[in-house]
Amino acid sequence: MTIQNLLVELFVEELPPKALKKLGEAFANQLAESLRSLGLLADDSVTTPFASPRRLAAHITHVAAKAADKLVQQKLMPVSVGLNAQGLATPALLKRLQALGADVSDPVFAVAALHKAPDGKNEALFFESLVTGATLDVGLQQALEAALSKLPIPKVMSYQLETDCELPGWSSVNFVRPAHGLVALHGSSVVPVKVLGLTAGNATQGHRFEAAKSPVVIATADSYADTLRTDGAVIASFAERHAAIVAQLKRAAEQVGQGSHAIEDEALLDEVTALVERPNVLVCEFEPQFLEVPQECLILTMKANQKYFPLLDASNKLTNRFLVVSNISPADASLVIGGNERVVRPRLSDAKFFFDQDRKKTLTSRVDGLDKVVYHNKLGTQGERTQRVAAIAQAIAAQLGDAGLVAQVTEAAQLAKTDLLTDMVGEFPELQGIMGGYYALNDGLSLEVAQAIEDHYKPRFAGDELPRNLTGVVVALADKLETLVGMFGIGNLPTGDKDPFALRRHALGVIRMLVEKHLPLGVNALLNSAAEQFKNMDGFDFGRAVVELEDFIDDRLAGSLRDQGFSAQEVDAVLALKPQRLGDVPKRLAAVRAFAALPEAPALAAANKRISNILKKAGEVDAHVSTLLLQEPAEAALFAAMDTVLPQAQAQCDAQDYTAALQTLAALRAPVDAFFEGVMVNAEATDLRLNRLGLLKKLHGVMNQVADLSRLAA
């Protein structure tokens, strides 16, 4: 059996850059998976993906020319069905054997070739056959077809193959881009496979302009990357090109000096890596006068429109230099540099024009224009939305601060969406909020209000920073609550992986602000207050906007806490109480974790679970205890212990020292154990039974103020 390394390359027209990395990985992994399933790969085979703007390729080690033959055992039917009383084959058995290709000309011989084995309670007949292993020619053909059919193609193209046939259209194929070449090498031998109208060979094409040879002939599977590099001027590996670009960006920035460094953007790096076959980083510049425009505008236009890397100085301020990743490496790069500088100038001029024009109108003068912008056909205009956000923000501010905070919050909320009407945000929607902050300062508004306008979209993504001041936190909280309540109220709920209004992200934003800013606000009260702003709207379901949304926020909170390393049991114990002030949740979780480490914890958790079950069956129970009815020594001892421990635990809980409260309760383990060993709770005498239930009710109430400890029971 011949074992060699395998190389497969599909040469195509320029692939979509944002999808290239995934396409390359999927192509290689699917090929390897299919070949492995056919038994053509060794256990230690290694797959290396390659992806450049015009090729998808895979190098796979230790690939067999033919898979080993396999002895396959197949269950046929129970012995009672396959053999008659004389032990001869029944017609059903003969028919099954014939379908499997077995020789049934001699039924006695055919039965003798079978063997019996237990199958549950019965005995079954099994047929063994030798399956010939797949050859690489056949296996690779199957693997290629499977890999191409399963590629995560963003949009399929349909194109017609080159043919001499006079009938148009009959030879059209579908693929992400037109394919022009196929290489398949097992060692140095071409594997004769066909796909997309192409027949495999050993030649491909290199760089469009700088290849030393055309075509580039690949001698062996192992020489693929080196040959493409030397003869084709192409770095085939996506990861290698990515690393080369990072190194060149760093080196170019260091040459500029003054602490310069390229802006970090992994998505832009991946996209540029997918646009070049052999990267060459060049330093360009633009006129310093453009730096009068907010740097976010210049950075965005250079990154989004031109795929450039802006250079920042040591204090992270934009400089008038930028880096270009070129796909060519001429001896004299001045023409390339000059061309890129000419191209970027109109873009920066547009940004400056938008900025200058926008500042001619104040944000306040744009407020009325929001009434002409539709927010949602069931929720009205942006103007109506702004009024709701302002009302919600005012209610929150009244709880957190004085009249000064309410005034600042009102001003920021009313102006927060006005930059949507500016030319700059119209051109670059990603700058909403950011430009509002700049224009607010230009209008002479306070820094507090300007920062709140800029920050009210925060956190925009996982790990993003929160608003910088309390005014911004209040407006951001109100904005997210308005969106959540409004969308839930009209039934626009996220489903599966579809969340067009980013409601999951908004919910996590609300959670983060309540938790990390330690805001003394209850979730249910916030939702009810927000829902009041929609109460007269047709088609708005108040109950769904509050009840279902609170459950939705609880689910997001639980997931977030588990992601932070808390166990599902710990999270369940704390959230079972539905704590309204989410800022307390981390302290409660820390207390539960500390309690669970105590030796008394398992017994108390089990007892708590038992108490919960008893009280649940008992129905309504009054937490009143009469000392005159404490007949058993164990119940009197428990009451005495509770009389000492519970007030102390309650005081600690009121002071939000949850860890100390639970540790104090640990002292009840012995009297609780003794109570359940020596006292019959459901006594026949009604007064005794109710008194004992009242004792347990009182104990249960204090024990579960921090968390539902019964959830910690095994």
Can you tell me the mean pLDDT for 446-459?
96
- H-helix or E-strand spanning residue 697: helix 686-703
pLDDT of 684 > 80? The answer is yes
From residue 627, give the alpha-carbon distance in Å to each of 507, 636, 703.
49, 8, 21
Alpha carbons within 13 A on the beta-carbon side of 362: 7
Q: What's the mean pLDDT in 37-44? A: 91
Give the per-residue pLDDT at 107: 72
How many Å apart are CA 142 and CA 157, to the nearest integer? 22
* Helix 633-654 and helix 669-678, axial crossing angle in degrees, nearest 10: 150
CA–CA separation, 129 vs 72, rounded Å?
Answer: 5
* Tens-place pLDDT, residues 505-527: 999 999 999 999 999 999 999 99
Q: pLDDT digits over 172-192, tens only?
A: 788 999 999 999 999 999 999
d(CA 447, CA 101): 85
- Is the predicted pLDDT of residue 169 greater than 80, yes or no? no
* 174, β-bridge pairs: 158
Residue 679 has a pLDDT of 85
Q: Is 311 helix (H, G, I), strand (E, B) or coil?
A: strand
The token pair that represents 177 in the structure block: 């881009």
Average pLDDT, whole number, for the chain?
Answer: 90
Q: What percent of the chain has pLDDT over 90?
A: 64
Tell the burial category of 364 from Cβ atoms under 10 Å away from its Cβ (0-12, 13-18, 19+): middle
CA angle (542 as vertex; 538, 547 as ends), nearest 5:
155
CA–CA dist 495, 318 (Å, integer): 41
Q: What's the pTM?
A: 0.80
Q: Is the pLDDT of residue 162 over 70?
A: no
Look at residue 130 in the predicted model and tell me its pLDDT: 67
d(CA 687, CA 95): 78
pLDDT score, position 95? 85
Q: Which of 251-265, 301-315, 608-622 has the lowest mean pLDDT?
A: 608-622
- Quickly tell me which residue has 């992270």 as its tokens: 316
Who wins on pLDDT, 17 or 496?
A: 17
Q: How much is the average pLDDT of 363-381?
A: 94
**Euclidean distance between CA atoms 569 and 710, whole angstroms:** 10
**CA-only gyration radius of the chain, Å:** 36
Residue 364 three-state SS? helix
What digits encode the pLDDT tens for the residues 624-656? 888 888 888 988 898 899 888 889 998 999 898
Contact 696, 672 (CB under 8 A): no
Q: Give DSSP secondary structure letters for 108-153.
A: HHHHHT-EEEEETTEEEEEEEEEEPPPBHHHHHHHHHHHHHHTS--
* pLDDT confidence of residue 313: 94
Indicate if the pLDDT at residue 1 is higher than 60.
no
Instruction: State pLDDT tens for residues 132-160.
Output: 778 999 999 999 999 999 999 888 888 88
DSSP string for residues in 207-266: -TTT-SSSSEE--SGGGHHHHHHHHH-----HHHHHHHHHHHHHHHHHHH-TT-EEPP-H
3-class DSSP assignment, residue 4: strand
Q: How confident is the model at residue 163 (pLDDT cuts 50, 70, 90)?
A: low
Which residues have a Cβ under 8 Å from the Cβ of 312 and sit 6 or more positions away? Answer: 260, 261, 262, 263, 318, 319
Q: Is 70 helix (H, G, I), strand (E, B) or coil?
A: strand
Average pLDDT over residues 523-544: 90
For the residues 487-509, what does the mean pLDDT come to? 91
**pLDDT tens-digit readout, 49-107:** 999 999 999 999 999 998 887 777 778 778 777 788 777 878 887 788 777 777 777 77
Q: How many Cα atoms sit within 13 Å of 533 on the Cβ side? A: 26
pLDDT, residue 385, reads 96
For residue 195, pLDDT over 90 is answered with yes
Check residue 201 and report its DSSP letter. B
pLDDT tens digit string along 382-411?
Answer: 999 999 999 999 999 999 989 999 999 999
pLDDT of residue 466: 96
pLDDT over 70 percentage in the chain? 97
The predicted-structure confidence for 581-596, as pLDDT tens digits, reads as follows: 999 999 999 999 998 8
- Whether the CB-CB separation of 27 and 50 falls below 8 Å is answered with no
In angstroms, rounded to a whole number, what is the distance separating the alpha carbons of residues 243 and 249? 10
Q: For residue range 112-123, list pLDDT tens digits in order.
A: 677 778 877 788
SS3 state of residue 365: helix
Residue 611 clears pLDDT 70, i.e. is over it: yes
- pLDDT band, very low/low/confident/very high, at 372 (cuts 50, 70, 90): very high
Q: How far is CA 343 from CA 41, 70, 301, 306, 512, in A?
A: 51, 63, 12, 8, 42
Cβ neighbors of 287 (< 8 A, separation 6 or more) are 320, 345, 348
CA 436 to CA 452: how far, in whole Å?
A: 9
Contact indicator for 228, 211 with CB cutoff of 8 Å? no
CA pseudo-torsion sign 399, 400, 404, 408: negative
**Which residues contact residue 570 at a Cβ distance below 8 angstroms, ignoring those fewer than 6 apart?**
589, 592, 593, 596, 712
Q: What is the model's pLDDT at position 109?
A: 65
DSSP string, 408-472: HHHHHHHHTTGGGGSHHHHH-GGGTTHHHHHHHHHTT--HHHHHHHHHTT---STTPPPPSSHHH
H or E element that contains 77: strand 70-78
Decide if pLDDT at 381 tops 70: yes
Mean pLDDT of 679-696: 87
Cβ-based neighbours of 53, under 8 Å, separated by 6 or more: 14, 15, 17, 20, 274, 275, 276, 277
pLDDT value at residue 110: 67
